[in-house]
Amino acid sequence: MGEAANRVHIVKASGEIEVFNPNMVTSDCQDAGIDFWTAVEVAQEVSKRIKDGASTREIQQETLRVLYAMNPEAAERYKRYHSMYVRTSRNTIEAFDRKKIVESLILETSLPREIAENIAREAEAELRRLKLEFISAPLIREVVNVKLLEHGFEEARASYTRLGMPVYDASLLVEGASQDAEEVHRAMAANVLKEFVLLKVLPLSLADAHMKGDLHIHAIEAFATKASSCVHDLRYYLLSGIRGRKAAVPPPGDALDALLLAVNLLRYGMGSFSTSQCLDYINVFLAPYLRGLSDAEMSRIARLLLRQISQLGASCDLWVEYGVPRFMSSMEAVLPGGEMDGTTYGEFEEEASSFALAIARAYASGDHLGTPFSSPRLCFRLRDEHWDRHGYSTFLQLAHQAAAAGAEHLFASPRGNELQAGTYTLPADTAVSAAMLQVVTVNLPRIAYQSGGSDRRLFELLEDRVRLALEALMLKKEVIERRVAAKVLPLLDDSYTSTPILLGVGYVGLNEMLMAHLGAELHREEALGFARRVLRQMYSLVTQEGEASRRFVLVQQLDENPHRRLARLDHGIFAHRVAVSAERRGGEVRYTPASWVSEDAELPLAKRLEIEGEFHRLCHGGAVSVIPLREQVPDPVPLMKLSRRIAADTQLRFWKYIREVGR
């Protein structure tokens, strides 16, 4: 070809510029079934005619003109062949080119070129048969995927398929009145990531177990990207500041700085934790920054703290307790400016109590319009040692005033020497922080349906399912460790080796499992003994894995309502059995969460909490009991008395009140 042609540049549909190569014209003609010599002749003529900056479309039009002049029949063949255009995923319209299918198959799957070319040829034939002028890139993929499946290349299909969501679902999301733009974006992204995890990250056995409903992998959309939740040790950041990727926050010098650091910590943490974050002992760790502040100033700091966190749009827990817990009073305090001079937290008892009171009061007042805060959730730890402290009753009354008005406050009571970090129960001598990498919940009723009444089979299946859950957790641990090594998880990158790491096995529907297997509910004596065997077996299987700093734990995880999803799936397979065991409320089938006693059981509260509290002891990853209040406006004073009784007279670790008016 001539030198002049080599200097001509063309602009492709994608916007890329490249030197014109006449062989492209030859190849395009041959693809359309034109003989080699005619094709060469056409290419030479086109080379002479095109100008610098011509588009690929102009080149095709010029080729067609040359062909019409030389051989009208060949021109018609060329026109038919190249009249199929593709709307590409790069938002361009380009002429269909089979070679692109071949190249993408080789790049994205492990298929050899010969097979890729064969698949591409068959897909092209299928597409041309449809006689469409425009086809989309997703349509091409769908057709290619069908061809891959026809030839038995299932693995290649899983790699080559597109991720996304049906237009109908997307329309519902976008047009749904309740969704703001950010939620729409998040939901769509979550959908794609979930498909990605199921197709590419999880082995088929685990993906199937989740989809079929043997297990529920919580926050599955974040399985490949984030850990689940975290209890931060604020002291670490008060001492060293936060080293963000774009900017660093220095150790705070005063109360306002410290408050902003806490809020920033949660904001950075959103990049690492998918489900929730928690600041425990917040009033204790901020106490040194509050010395000398008036009550009004302290109230302002409390209000600001709640308002700032409420704006984050993330699930956050703030734990407060009245003053400095005894085990923490001799701990060296981090002081303003990140100083440590031997002063202990015990010396800030007054500030810690006053700030706890200020937080409870600010929460009970709601935001500046008086609207209750939906986030953060406030969590109150009740200890025997607090009971005689001046102001404790007021503190508790404020907490229960908000709970009675509908706030989902969490209440906790540590038992013995155990250390609580958020809702995690840790060995007494560890840090007050921990990260839960992942929770996988086991569907207990299904095990009962599948065991056909045989105890032996039930325990075999239970072991299989727990081991499957552990396999998923091991995989998650590897995923997170790779991401920590790549330094793409803010906060977790620096603290991964020093923070206690938890991996949680959850469970759902113990009550329905017992009904299906024994015909008796959890609160019946004959079923309770069997329930203990089931949970002890799970506890033993779960806790024998891991090591001191990387612990596998049992957990009662309630996010995402696995008790609904798994009951619905079971209903599709074991309808005749689910009908008798699952609770039907408001037209939906659902299981009783974890080891809760059925809401319908007419059981004294003390007995209900005694049964549930027994299982809390085994769930070091967290367990919360819910106490329904069936009055329109519950009275906070009796509620406060009840909480004190629960703390003193039961084994319950965590509880909250919910209003269920009309039941």
- Find the shortest distance in angstroms from Cβ 368 to other proteins: 23
Asked if 613 is part of the footprint of other proteins (rule: CB under 8 A), the reply reads no
- Residue of 7, 185, 584, 630 that binds other proteins (CB under 8 A): 630
For residue 406, the minimal CB distance to other proteins (Å) is 14
How far, in Å, are 163, 170, 220, 619, 626 from residue 189 at the CA level? 10, 11, 12, 32, 33
Q: How far apart are CA 623 and CA 506, in angstroms?
A: 10
How far apart are CB 459 and other proteins at their closest, in Å? Answer: 34
CA distances from 178 to 173, 174, 588 (A): 9, 10, 22
H helix runs in 197-233, sequence order = 204-212
User: Is 137 among the residues that bind other proteins (CB under 8 A)?
Assistant: no
Residue with tokens 């998923």: 472
**Looking at the chain, how many residues does it have?**
663
248 and 241 Cβ atoms separated by less than 8 Å:
yes
Report d(CA 596, CA 623) in Å as an integer.
10
Please pick, from the candidates 213, 593, 613, 634, the single residue that binds other proteins as defined by CB under 8 A.
634
Residues 253-282 that bind other proteins (CB under 8 A): none
Q: Per CB under 8 A, which region of 38-46, 119-127, 152-160, 627-635 contacts other proteins?
A: 627-635
Is residue 572 close enough to count as binding other proteins by CB under 8 A? no
Identify whether 376 is preceded by a cis peptide bond (ω within 30 of 0).
yes
Answer yes or no whether residue 364 interacts with other proteins by CB under 8 A.
no
Category of 304 on φ-ψ map: left (φ > 0), alpha (ψ -120 to 50) or beta: alpha
The rounded distance, in Å, linking the Cα atoms of 83 and 64 is 11
For other proteins, the closer CB: 17 or 606: 606
Torsion angle of C-alpha atoms 204, 206, 212, 218, degrees rounded to 10: -140
One of 295, 600, 635, 660 touching other proteins (CB under 8 A): 635
CB 629 → other proteins: shortest distance, Å?
Answer: 7
Residue 396 has, within 13 A of its CA and on its CB side, a CA count of: 23
211-219, 311-319, 498-506, 624-632 -> range binding other proteins (CB under 8 A): 624-632
| Closer by beta carbon to other proteins, 99 or else 645 | 645
SS3 484: helix
- Segment interacting with other proteins, rule: CB under 8 A, options 163-171, 447-455, 493-501, 637-645: 637-645
Choosing from 629, 653, 654, 655, the residue that interacts with other proteins (CB under 8 A) is: 629
Among 447, 646, 653, 655, binds other proteins (CB under 8 A): 646
Q: Which residue matches tokens 């255009």?
A: 85
Least CB distance to other proteins at residue 531 (A):
21
Query: Quick check: 74 and 28 in contact, CB under 8 A?
Result: no
- Tell me if 638 contacts other proteins by CB under 8 A: yes
Of 587 and 604, CB closest to other proteins: 604
Among 42, 501, 582, 609, binds other proteins (CB under 8 A): 609
54 binds other proteins (CB under 8 A): no
Q: Give whole-number Cα distances, 155 to 203, 327, 373, 393, 589, in Å.
A: 11, 55, 48, 63, 35
Q: Does 95 bind other proteins (CB under 8 A)?
A: no
Residues 388-407 that bind other proteins (CB under 8 A): 404
Size of the site for other proteins (CB under 8 A): 28
Which residues does 334 contact at the CB level (< 8 Å), separation at least 6? 235, 238, 239, 251, 285, 288, 340
Minimum CB distance to other proteins smaller for 188 or for 603: 603
Q: Interface with other proteins includes 660 (CB under 8 A)?
A: no
Distance CA 465, CA 449 (A): 14
- Residue that the structure tokens 């690492």 belong to: 272
CB of 662 to other proteins, least distance (A): 7
Among 512, 650, 653, 655, binds other proteins (CB under 8 A): 650
Among residue numbers 552 through 571, which ones bind other proteins (CB under 8 A)?
none
- How far apart are the C-alpha atoms of 636 and 654, rounded to whole Å? 18
- Closest CB 523 distance from other proteins, rounded Å: 12
Q: Given candidates 478, 605, 658, 660, which one binds other proteins under the rule CB under 8 A?
A: 605
Binding residues vs other proteins (CB under 8 A): 404, 602-609, 627, 629-639, 641-642, 645-646, 649-650, 662
